[in-house]
């Protein structure tokens, strides 16, 4: 199976321009699973809730039909971050699409910084979808800071963590090595590059460094901090399905959930 990411600099508010870049990447990609950044259609640094409302999409948006047409007969799946409006709420979401259209939508659970001003915390929970050849789960950017996100997806059977991101702090690319090692899963973190400075606020500089990490913690590839890149590589899903650490330890069987802090704590 071939997985990869498209690291680029979405331009704030220019949905058609950003979509065109995404469509070009889809066209050029020869793999099976392509992960795109968080909020890749709209850009990130909103100045008001009204701006989010103006740039948000619902499930019926023609953009998803356009994407579906681009995937037609390709056998390719994409994960794309977008601002979603649904049931009178705004969510920082990511859609999983195949040639059959929308397969699922994940709504970001752990909102970061000013996202809390515009978005509602996700109400989908962490879901895993079988795309044939691999089970994929989605977490969005700051979800990495809560190890429960990756662990929940792992316990639910994910082989690959699809991780659309708009990272501004430097820690995540290295932290994902640990997330992969402790869960024995692959991760594809698709971050963006560039800078946004909107609404009189301090600039946000996105750190790039999108990466594919293997279940043994090796970084199969890490992109540059400020260059666009469409990347793909072959991975062996069997590595994520072997949860044996050594002859005496099995990652999931050895968990002791009776001692872990959980729901309602």
Q: Please tell me the distance from the alpha carbon of residue 252 to that of residue 47, in angstroms, as a whole number.
A: 43
Q: Which of 32, 38, 51, 232 binds ligand ACM (CB under 6 A)?
A: 38
Is the CB of 44 or the CB of 231 nearer to ligand ACM? 44
Q: Please tell me the distance from the alpha carbon of residue 26 to that of residue 77, in angstroms, as a whole number.
A: 10
Beta-strand (E) ranges in 54-182? 77-86, 89-98, 101-107, 128-130, 135-138, 160-164
The first and second tokens of residue 69, run together, are 């047409």
Task: Say if CB 190 and CB 36 are below 8 A apart.
Answer: yes
CB of 218 to ligand ACM, least distance (A): 24
Regarding 141 and contact with ligand ACM (CB under 6 A), the answer is yes
Torsional sign, CA 97, 100, 102, 104: negative
CB of 252 to ligand ACM, least distance (A): 27
CB of 80 to ligand ACM, least distance (A): 15
Specify the stretch interacting with ligand ACM by CB under 6 A; choose among 12-20, 28-36, 166-174, 219-227.
Answer: 166-174
Is the CB of 64 or the CB of 142 nearer to ligand ACM? 142
Residue 156 is among the residues annotated as catalytic for this protein: no
Regarding 42 and contact with ligand ACM (CB under 6 A), the answer is no
Closest CA to 49 of 87, 91, 17: 91
Is the CB of 108 or the CB of 184 nearer to ligand ACM? 108
Task: Say if CB 112 and CB 81 are below 8 A apart.
Answer: no
Residue 141 is among the residues annotated as catalytic for this protein: yes
Q: Residues with catalytic annotation?
A: 38, 108, 141
Contacting positions for ligand ACM (CB under 6 A): 38, 112, 141-142, 166-168
């Amino acid at each position: 199976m071939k997985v990869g990411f498209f690291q680029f600099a979405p331009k704030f508010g220019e949905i058609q321009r950003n979509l065109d870049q995404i469509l070009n990447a889809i066209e050029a990609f020869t793999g099976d699973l392509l992960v795109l950044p968080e909020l890749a259609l709209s850009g990130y640094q909103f100045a008001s809730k009204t701006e989010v409302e103006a740039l948000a999409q619902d499930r019926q948006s023609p953009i998803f039909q356009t994407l579906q047409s681009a995937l037609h007969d390709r056998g390719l799946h994409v994960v794309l971050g977008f601002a979603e409006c649904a049931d009178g709420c705004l969510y920082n979401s990511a859609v999983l699409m195949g040639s059959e259209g929308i397969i699922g939508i994940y709504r970001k659970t752990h909102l970061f910084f000013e996202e809390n001003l515009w978005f509602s915390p996700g109400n989908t929970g962490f879901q895993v979808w079988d795309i044939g050849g691999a089970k994929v789960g989605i977490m969005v950017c700051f979800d990495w800071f809560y190890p429960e996100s990756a662990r929940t997806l792992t316990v639910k059977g994910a082989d690959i963590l699809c991780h659309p991101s708009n990272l501004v702090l430097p820690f995540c690319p290295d932290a994902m090595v640990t997330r992969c090692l402790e869960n024995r899963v692959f991760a594809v973190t698709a971050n963006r590059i560039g800078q946004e400075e909107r609404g009189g606020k301090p600039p946000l500089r996105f750190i790039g460094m999108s990466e594919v990490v293997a279940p043994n913690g090796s970084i199969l590839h890490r992109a540059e901090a400020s260059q666009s890149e469409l990347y793909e590589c072959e991975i062996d899903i069997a590595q994520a399905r072997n949860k044996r650490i050594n002859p005496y330890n099995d990652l999931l069987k050895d968990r002791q959930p009776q001692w872990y802090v959980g729901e309602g704590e």
